[in-house]
Every structure is written in structure tokens, then in C-alpha cells.
Amino acid sequence: MRFPGNKKAGLIIMVDAEGEFGRIPFSPRDKFSKRVKMLLSAILGMDYSIKTLNEMVVLLKKYNIPATFFFVGSLFLKKGDKKILTGYLNQDIKTRYLWNKRRLPKIIPSFGGFIQNEMNSRLFEVSIHNFLHESNFSEPDSIISNSIRFSRIAAKRIGFDPKTYAAPWFELEEPKRPDRIYNILKNNGIILTRFDGTREKYGTVITQRTKKGFFKRRGFNCIHSSYFIKTGIRNRKELEIIENGIKDAIKTGTIYTLSTHETTFMRHGLNHFEDILKIIKKYQKDLYMNTLYGMFLKVGK
């Protein structure tokens, strides 16, 4: 790969921004223990508000590092737009939620004003993570198509036109119908995915902090990716893996990606996020940093 400015490697930060959806929807593959954990987080009042997202945005601006944020589309709505959400819920949605989905309009926070005012910057790409964090493998084509369509409508109301997409729970390629979601995305104006593959073969994720290589068939071609699984703590092992991954990318002339959630950095995790940004700045002379779509435009697939 060739990078602008004679840089040696590329780097993309990608964040799933879910707000309350960090705990209320379930994948059909989620174990019962996961559901209990999410219920406890609700009972204990864990903060899934806009606070962590705001502090991440402040830090990215401080270090002048770009990032792509994949928002659950209903979060684009402002408080006065909740009628759109109520209408959407008239569909027969199969995805299971911690509460009855009819309660969602009262539960879901409104991030639209914040996104419009604080993220309208060259540093940030605003993208889609389904409208209600629906499970692609549970829903029919019509629901997924509406999920993308409503997400784009909501984003455009605050001045954004998303071109990229991240599948909730990595549900992008079904073994028997690998093209299904790609075709729906294409028909709804989405041109690029975060990465592809089935849950069993996604390979783009550092699970239990062990590194895996991968080559995507239709998403953006990267060599390394980190997926943070420790929430709210500073983790030296993760920092070591990230730094070694960046070094490998520089050595091999490839792209290193960081894929995570905003809720990962709740509480003390924001210190961890800043530690990550400091590592990235350490290698900035060799790194071409951009958003997912920006990297696609400059470097290509």
C-alpha cells in the first residue's frame, strides 16, 4: 500500500457508539449469563450516557487524531424527533431487548444535538450501527433495509451523510447467505463496511488480547485490529499489543485499526484511552491517520 505524505503505514480508530444500546439489546447467540450481566448493569445504574463519548471527543481533538464513530441510528434523533422512533417501532422487530421495545422512546437518549455541535469536524466520521442495534441474523431483509434507511434519514437531519457501516455483533456474513447484508447495504447507499466474516471467522478482533491477522474480502483491507474487552480500567497488556501492532504495520506497510466501544472507556477507562492516543502520537511521523471512509478515498481497497 502507498500512503499520502510518504507515510509508512495507516491507522484507523473505529468506535461503536451505542449509549443505552450497550446493554439493552441481545444477540441470539448471547449466553444467559450475558443477559443477567446487562440486567445488573441497568439495576446498578451504570452510566451509559453521553458523558464518556464527550470526553473521548475532547481527547481526540486534543491529540488531533481522527476517528470513525458507528452510531446506533436512533441516537441521531433530537428530543423533538422521537415520533420517528415511535413509527419505526410499529414494525415486527425480532431482536430481543432487556425491556419491552415499546419503552425504548422513553429510555433512548438523544445524542443528535451533541453530534451536530461537537462532531462536525474533519476529525470525525459519523457512520451507522443499525437503527436499534438490531441483530442482522434475526431480522428479515425489510427490517434491516429500514434500519439503514431510517439511520441515514436521522443522520441527514443533523447534517451528516453516512457512507460506512459496522454490523452489531459482527453479524455481516451468514454462512449460507454471505451476500445478503452486503446487498442490503449497497441498495441503501452504504459503500464500505468495518470488516466482514462470520462470528466464528471474523479474525479481525483481538480476543482475550491475542493477536490475529486477517484479510477482508469486501470490507477495508487491514492487517491488524484490536478489540478492547476490558472495561473501565488501564491495561498495560493491551497497550503493549497495540504498540506492537502499530510497529508491525509500519514494518510491513499496512493499516492498523483499533475497533472498540465508547462504553469500554467508562470510569478509569478514559485514562486508558488517553494512554492509547499517546502511543499513536509517538509514531505519528510514520502513520497516515484518517477515518474509515477517508482512508478508502486516499488509499483504496
Q: How confident is the model at residue 113 (pLDDT cuts 50, 70, 90)?
A: very high
Query: How confident is the model over 218-241, as pLDDT tens digits?
Result: 455 454 455 554 555 677 877 887
- Residue 212: pLDDT above 50? no
Q: What pLDDT sits at residue 210? A: 32
Determine the structural domain holding residue 160 and report its residue range.
4-299
Q: Higher-confidence residue: 40 or 160?
A: 160
What is the domain count for the chain?
Answer: 1
List of E strands, the chain: 9-17, 25-26, 67-71, 96-97, 124-128, 164-165, 192-193, 224-227, 255-261, 287-289
> pLDDT tens digit string along 238-296?
788 788 888 988 998 888 888 888 888 876 678 888 999 999 999 999 999 999 899 88
* pLDDT band, very low/low/confident/very high, at 207 (cuts 50, 70, 90): very low
3-state secondary structure of 3: coil
Highest mean pLDDT among 25-34, 47-56, 246-255: 246-255
Neighbours of 131 (CB within 10 A): 28
Nearest by Cα to 241 from 254, 261, 253, 257: 257
Q: Are 73 and 110 in contact (CB under 8 A)?
A: no
Would the pLDDT of 132 be above 90? yes
pLDDT of residue 110: 86
- Distance between CA atoms of 164 and 190, rounded to whole angstroms? 6
Q: pLDDT digits over 76-86, tens only?
A: 998 878 788 88
* Cell digits of residue 95: 431482536
What CATH number is given to the structural domain containing 159? 3.20.20.370
Number of H helices, E strands in the chain: 10, 10
Percent of all residues in the chain with a pLDDT value above 90, rounded to a whole number: 40
Q: What is the pLDDT of residue 142?
A: 96
Measured distance CA(26)–CA(133) in Å, rounded: 9
